[in-house]
Amino acid sequence: MKIVTVVGARPQFIKAAPASRALHAVGIEEVVVHTGQHYDPSMSAVFFRELGMGEPAYNLEVGSGSHGEQTGRMLVEIERIITQEQPDVVLVYGDTNSTLAGALAAAKLGTPVAHVEAGLRSFNRNMPEEINRLVADRLSSLLFCPTENAVDNLAREGMTEGVYQVGDVMYDAVLWASGRANYEQGSSIRSSTNYELGARYGVEEGKYLLATVHRAANTDDLANLAGIMSALGRMGEPVVFPLHPRTRKALDEAGIDVAENVKAIEPVSYLEMLSLEKDARVILTDSGGVQKEALWLGVPCVTLREETEWVETVECGWNRLVGADPDRIIEAVGAPRPEGSPPQLYGDGHASERIAAILVGGEYEADKEVVGQLSER
């Protein structure tokens, strides 16, 4: 079997890494296509090296542009690659323009599409990511869902064939990064994620906030961006703020100053980000992946959006939705820490192995033996 994997953005590199290892373990030939949607070295090349993925077979280097322009350039090139490689399946991840382009190109050529993170919904069609998810799911023959909610979303939209609840591949990645291949359900990963970093930025464990902002709804809306930056400046404690290139550009163009307590730093690698997350008192973010990482690391999260695809994190009390209103943000950051430990909501760390087993065997029931074999490696 040959699979073409299409990735293009930082979160997709993280998701693809454990899946690639599982695919190779069962003998699937994988051809990785990097669209170049994220092209800054700190957002791209460092992740391939750190996650052990090696260099992609193709790098389309599409760079930035409007949604239509970027997706169109990807579509032309991915179609050419699929025609040349003749894969059995095209594998796409998440909800980016790379996801949409990969799914469209494959479907138009009659190649089956497999979508990892299928079924997620924010129910906000003003978000480009929501449109990408909806289209990718409709075009997919295999829909790999991280949660029961995702399965239910697809069922409500009439999609029940080829739907599998496998767990979350990002959880697989966190466990791999923590060095716990033989992870036992219920144990903590905080103690094993020992990639210490805070001292570099003059902050102490548990005595700083970590913030990330990158979604267009916040960076391209001056009122939202100003509101978030105002809140960060009013925190009264250090805020470590890795700056996405889009966010840095938006701040510069708007003339918004970064407050003295906000330590604006360059984007960090995956392992560095996990280190900063695990030692933070609270995480503020508009990233879907960071919301989940906060939960897995036992750190309260404040989401700078009005909705989230990861509704389970809110329902269990470890995540608060506050939008970009400064007062709501400050109130949420000052809220008491949830009692106890976060629940385990996103599988057992073997989602990638289940995906590989399904692709090889075609039946979900056949995955147990393959998962067991892979877990021993």
Residue 254 lies in a domain: yes
Quote the CA–CA distance of 359 and 37 in Å, as a whole number.
27
- pLDDT tens string 67-95: 788 899 999 999 999 999 999 999 999 99
- 127 shares a domain with 8: yes
**Active site residues per annotation:** 214
User: How many distinct structural domains can be found in the chain?
Assistant: 2
The better pLDDT of the pair 267, 178 is held by 267
Indicate the pLDDT class of residue 376, thresholds 50, 70 and 90.
very low
Identity of the amino acid at 217: A
Give the ranges where 118-221 is alpha helix by DSSP (H).
128-139, 148-156, 169-177, 216-219
The predicted-structure confidence for 272-305, as pLDDT tens digits, reads as follows 888 899 999 999 999 999 999 999 999 999 999 9
- Residue 270: what pLDDT? 85
Torsion of CA 278, 279, 282, 283, to 10 degrees: -50
Tokens of residue 276, six digits: 């900063």
Residue 192 within a domain? no
195 inside domain: no
- Checking DSSP bridges between strand 282-285 and strand 209-212, what pairing results, if any? parallel
**Does residue 368 carry a pLDDT above 70?**
no
CATH of the domain at 359: 3.40.50.2000
pLDDT surpasses 90 at 349:
yes
In a domain, 33, yes or no: yes
Residues in the chain: 377
Residue 260, domain extent: 205-333
Q: Are residues 142 and 212 in the same domain?
A: no
Q: How far, in Å, are 2, 140, 144, 358, 368 from residue 365 at the CA level?
A: 22, 20, 14, 9, 7
pTM (2 decimals)?
0.86
CA–CA separation, 316 vs 305, rounded Å?
18
Asked whether residue 45 is domain-assigned, the answer is yes
* DSSP type of residue 182: T
Cα–Cα distance measured from residue 353 to residue 331, given in angstroms and rounded to the nearest whole number: 41
Residue 246: pLDDT band (50, 70, 90) is confident
E-assigned strand segments in the chain:
2-7, 29-34, 58-59, 89-93, 113-116, 142-145, 163-165, 209-212, 239-242, 262-265, 282-285, 301-303, 319-321
In a domain, 139, yes or no: yes
pLDDT one-digit tens code per residue, 122-131: 999 988 999 9
Identity of the residue numbered 86? Q
Tokens of 16: 């693809």
Tell me if 7 is assigned to some domain: yes
What confidence tier does 363 reach under pLDDT thresholds 50, 70, 90? Answer: low
Is the four-CA dihedral 128, 307, 280, 350 of positive or negative sign?
Answer: negative
Average pLDDT value for the chain:
88
Same domain as 311, residue 228: yes
Statement to judge: residues 114 and 19 lie in one domain: yes
Of residues 186 and 209, more confidence is placed in 209
**Cα 216 versus chain centre, distance:** 16
Contact criterion met (CB below 8 Å) for 78 and 103: no
The Cα–Cα gap between 306 and 193 comes to 30
Place of tokens 């163009």: 253
| pLDDT score at 329 | 98
Tell me whether residue 198 is in a domain. no
